[in-house]
């Protein structure tokens, strides 16, 4: 290995993801500080026919990040700045564009954007991911007319094969090619091509190491949230009458959570509605109301989760009532806050203990009812036949159509149905496998970052569900002809 790279590297280091269900000891674990370090690492790897991959916060439960050769932590590459307007096309100068170091953690990003008077249009339920990690697996939040991460991005800056630097944008990209060449000469190749952009933007790092990302954000905004408790029988009726989907269309952000277990003859749901507050009505100073203190408090204390895991393992039958209580705790008449505080929907404790499989379906009411009722049946069967219980409610979220070729929301309004549980409760992975089988049978498309090992056996299914998979593979092979950025995950998914 190039001895100059030693100062950036650790050897005999075992990396693991946040939940510790995925581990790998690569040949070297690097902490690059800029794109030039990355370029040297890539060149060194290619001279020895080794592979290179990067990790973000390690919040994917799948093997998507794993690499046995050179693995890069992006954590030293965190920066947030306004995009250089001098390089933009005239027509794009009015946009709110920020250029972010790939390793920027979303929590920090949100704070810095807020200071700049800006905000992400949407985010997932937590803010512990890195910018590049959230992007490259297609992290989504909720809101049927709101974008997931790949659809907020306008430009990807990447180190590719040979240590070459690329800036990749869609056909109608934001960058003026003449201005780009004036500034960068041929040191950074500008590619403006839909096929490359919509492949790389949700490409698990399979085309190169992303070092910066340009995102389109919004002026900072406030939101109002309410959480009400409803029974599944009533919500089901609203779904089938069309009333519910109409409300989803006309509300900025909607999600609901269901107890998979029946209690007193029905399933309890918590319905979360979030509205963007118009600019002239935004509260100032102390205008914000805190979220229900009980739900925030319990979600942040790891010890309580750990003792819950022990309690569930000792007394699994109590799970149905624990979920019932937890849903009721989240009831909140009104919570007003800055957008990123309202969009954050979870507690810190889920990072090490939560694990899930999540599936995307066409956002149709009948489909939602069908899938949820199959979940209820399976949860009951696991309990009755095996005394196996899943320790969480089922979240249901909505996302706008995506243009990213490997997005599970590609080209259609999508509902995501998640099956989270607590890692290390008895039967955790077996329960998730049964759900994967059932959801695949119902035409659900698994999230790339969640537990999705059943797809390894179903390359035919991937090909039938991702209609742009061949274009993705073609662009990956063109951008990475030596296979430097490939890993077993991409191969096992049949995408190499
Ligand atoms: C508690 C919890 C809650 C979650 N909630 C949601 C949610 O609400 N919605 C949702 O959609 N998902 C959710 N997820 C899943 C999570 O958002 C994704 O798995 C996301 O990819 C994790 O980001 P990360 O920074 O940890 O990336 P990692 O998991 O570390 O990496 C993800 C992928 O990106 C690649 N990668 C990362 N950085 C780079 C880079 N700079 N260059 C090249 N490749 C790179 C890695 O190789 C890997 O393939 C949640 C996960 C957890 C643990």
Q: Note the pLDDT tens digit of each residue in 91-123.
A: 999 999 999 999 999 999 999 999 999 999 999
Residue 193, pLDDT above cutoff 60: yes
Residue 305, pLDDT above cutoff 80: no
Give 333's pLDDT tier (boundaries 50, 70, 90).
Answer: confident
Q: Whose C-alpha lies nearest to ligand 1, atom 46?
A: 65
pLDDT of 490 reads 97
Percent of the chain's residues with pLDDT above 70: 95
User: How much is the mean pLDDT over the chain?
Assistant: 94
Phi, psi of 409 (to 5 degrees): -110, 20
Contact 247, 191 (CB under 8 A): no
CA–CA distance, 374 with 379 (Å, rounded to integer): 9
> What is the maximum span of the chain, computed from C-alpha positions, in angstroms?
70
CA–CA distance, 301 with 308 (Å, rounded to integer): 11
E strands, 387-474, are 394-399, 414-422, 445-446
Choice from 23, 69, 124, 493 to test ligand 1 binding pocket (greatest atom count within 8 A of CB): 124
pLDDT of 286 reads 54
Q: Quick one: residue 322, left, alpha or beta (phi over 0 = left, psi -120 to 50 = alpha)? A: alpha
Residue 448 CA, ligand 1 centroid: distance in Å: 9
Q: Using one digit for the tens of pLDDT, what is the confidence trace for 22-60?
A: 999 999 999 999 999 999 999 999 999 999 999 999 999
Percent of the chain's residues with pLDDT above 90: 84
Residue 279 CA, ligand 1 centroid: distance in Å: 32
CA–CA distance, 133 with 303 (Å, rounded to integer): 28
Q: Whose C-alpha lies nearest to ligand 1, atom 11?
A: 139
Residue 376 CA, ligand 1 centroid: distance in Å: 28
Residue 86 CA, ligand 1 centroid: distance in Å: 32
Instruction: Give Cβ neighbours of residue 314 (< 8 Å, ≥ 6 apart).
Output: none
Residue 8 CA, ligand 1 centroid: distance in Å: 23
CA–CA distance, 39 with 45 (Å, rounded to integer): 10
Q: Whose C-alpha lies nearest to ligand 1, atom 37?
A: 133
Q: For residue 246, how many other CB atoms are within 10 A of its CB?
A: 12
How do 188-192 and 165-169 pair as beta strands? parallel
Residue 393, pLDDT above cutoff 70: yes
Residue 61 CA, ligand 1 centroid: distance in Å: 8
Closest ligand 1 atom to 351 CA: 1
Helices 232-241/365-386 angle, 10° precision? 150
Closest ligand 1 atom to 18 CA: 53
Residue 127 CA, ligand 1 centroid: distance in Å: 11
CA–CA distance, 320 with 263 (Å, rounded to integer): 7
Residue 374 CA, ligand 1 centroid: distance in Å: 28
Instruction: Give Cβ neighbours of residue 18 (< 8 Å, ≥ 6 apart).
Output: 57, 58, 59, 128, 351, 352
Region of poorest pLDDT, from 31-40, 314-323, 385-394, 403-412: 314-323
Q: Whose C-alpha lies nearest to ligand 1, atom 23?
A: 133
**For 220, how many CA atoms within 13 A lie in the half-sphere containing its CB?**
17
Region of poorest pLDDT, from 35-49, 234-248, 328-342, 461-475: 328-342
Domains defined along the chain, listed by start:
1-220+458-496 (3.30.465.10), 222-451 (3.40.462.10)
User: Per this entry, what is the length of the chain?
Assistant: 496
pLDDT of 370 reads 98
CA–CA distance, 374 with 370 (Å, rounded to integer): 6
3-state secondary structure of 232: helix
Q: Whose C-alpha lies nearest to ligand 1, atom 3?
A: 126
Give 288's pLDDT tier (boundaries 50, 70, 90).
Answer: low
Choice from 33, 132, 138, 419 to test ligand 1 binding pocket (greatest atom count within 8 A of CB): 132
pLDDT of 282 reads 80
E strands, 21-144, are 23-24, 28-30, 52-55, 70-73, 80-82, 97-101, 118-119
- Average pLDDT for 277-297: 65
pLDDT of 391 reads 87
Residue 65 CA, ligand 1 centroid: distance in Å: 9
pLDDT of 464 reads 96
Closest ligand 1 atom to 55 CA: 30
Q: Whose C-alpha lies nearest to ligand 1, atom 41?
A: 210
pLDDT of 334 reads 82
**Residues within 6 Å of ligand 1 by CB:** 18, 53-60, 64-65, 74, 102, 124-126, 129-130, 132-134, 136-137, 139-140, 204-205, 209-210, 350-351, 354, 447, 449
Residue 406, pLDDT above cutoff 80: yes
Instruction: Give Cβ neighbours of residue 131 (< 8 Å, ≥ 6 apart).
Output: 56, 100, 101, 102, 103, 104, 106, 109, 213, 215
Query: Which tops the pLDDT comparison, 313 or 140?
Result: 140
Residue 229 CA, ligand 1 centroid: distance in Å: 31
Residue 177 CA, ligand 1 centroid: distance in Å: 31
Q: Using one digit for the tens of pLDDT, what is the confidence trace for 150-184?
A: 999 999 999 999 999 999 999 999 999 999 999 99
Q: Whose C-alpha lies nearest to ligand 1, atom 47?
A: 65
Query: What pTM was estimated for this model as a whole?
Result: 0.95
Give 291's pLDDT tier (boundaries 50, 70, 90).
Answer: low
CA–CA distance, 246 with 348 (Å, rounded to integer): 33
Closest ligand 1 atom to 66 CA: 47
Q: Whose C-alpha lies nearest to ligand 1, atom 12?
A: 139
Within 143-210, residue ranges assigned H as helices are: 177-184, 194-200
Residue 317 CA, ligand 1 centroid: distance in Å: 33
3-state secondary structure of 12: coil
């Amino acid at each position: 290995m190039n001895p100059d790279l030693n100062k950036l590297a650790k050897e005999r280091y075992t990396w693991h993801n946040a939940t510790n269900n995925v581990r790998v000891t690569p040949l070297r674990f690097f902490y690059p500080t800029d794109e030039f370090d990355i370029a040297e690492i890539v060149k060194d790897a290619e001279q020895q026919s080794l592979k290179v991959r990067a990790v973000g916060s390690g919040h994917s439960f799948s093997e998507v990040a794993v690499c046995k050769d050179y693995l890069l932590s992006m954590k030293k590459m965190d920066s947030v700045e306004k995009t250089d307007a001098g390089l933009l096309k005239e027509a794009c100068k009015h946009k709110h564009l920020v250029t972010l170091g790939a390793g920027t953690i979303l929590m920090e990003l949100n704070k810095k954007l807020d200071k700049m008077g800006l905000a992400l249009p949407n985010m997932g339920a937590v803010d512990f991911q890195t910018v590049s990690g959230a992007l490259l697996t297609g992290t989504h939040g909720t809101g049927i007319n709101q974008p997931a991460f790949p659809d907020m991005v306008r430009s990807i800056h990447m180190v590719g094969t040979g240590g070459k630097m690329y800036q990749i944008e869609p056909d109608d990209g934001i960058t003026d090619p003449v201005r780009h060449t004036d500034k960068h000469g041929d040191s950074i190749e500008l590619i403006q091509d839909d096929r490359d952009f919509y492949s790389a933007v949700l490409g698990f790092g399979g085309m190169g190491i992303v070092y910066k990302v340009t995102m389109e954000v919004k002026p900072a905004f406030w939101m109002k949230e309410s959480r009400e408790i409803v029974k599944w029988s009533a919500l089901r009726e609203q779904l089938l009458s069309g009333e519910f989907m109409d409300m989803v269309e006309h509300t900025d952000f909607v999600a609901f959570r269901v107890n998979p277990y029946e209690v007193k003859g029905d399933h309890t749901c918590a319905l979360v509605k979030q509205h963007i507050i118009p600019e002239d009505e935004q509260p100032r100073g102390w205008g914000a109301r805190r979220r229900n203190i009980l739900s925030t408090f319990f979600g942040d204390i790891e010890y309580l989760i750990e003792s819950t895991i022990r309690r569930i393992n000792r007394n699994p039958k109590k799970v149905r009532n624990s979920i019932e209580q937890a849903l009721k705790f989240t009831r909140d008449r009104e919570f007003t806050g800055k957008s990123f505080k309202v969009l954050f929907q979870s507690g810190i404790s889920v990072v090490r203990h939560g694990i899930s499989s999540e599936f995307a379906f066409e956002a149709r009411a009948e489909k939602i009812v069908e899938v949820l009722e199959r979940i209820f049946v399976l949860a009951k069967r696991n309990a009755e036949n095996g005394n196996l219980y899943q320790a969480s409610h089922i979240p249901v979220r909505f996302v706008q159509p995506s243009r990213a070729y490997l997005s599970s929301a590609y080209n259609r309004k999508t509902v995501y149905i998640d099956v989270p549980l607590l890692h290390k409760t008895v039967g955790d992975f077996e329960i998730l496998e049964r759900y994967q089988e059932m959801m695949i049978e119902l035409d659900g498309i698994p999230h790339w970052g969640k537990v999705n090992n059943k797809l390894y056996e179903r390359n035919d299914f991937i090909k039938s569900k991702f209609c742009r998979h061949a274009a993705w593979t073609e662009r990956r092979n063109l951008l990475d002809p030596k296979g430097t950025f490939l890993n077993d995950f991409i191969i096992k998914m049949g995408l190499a």
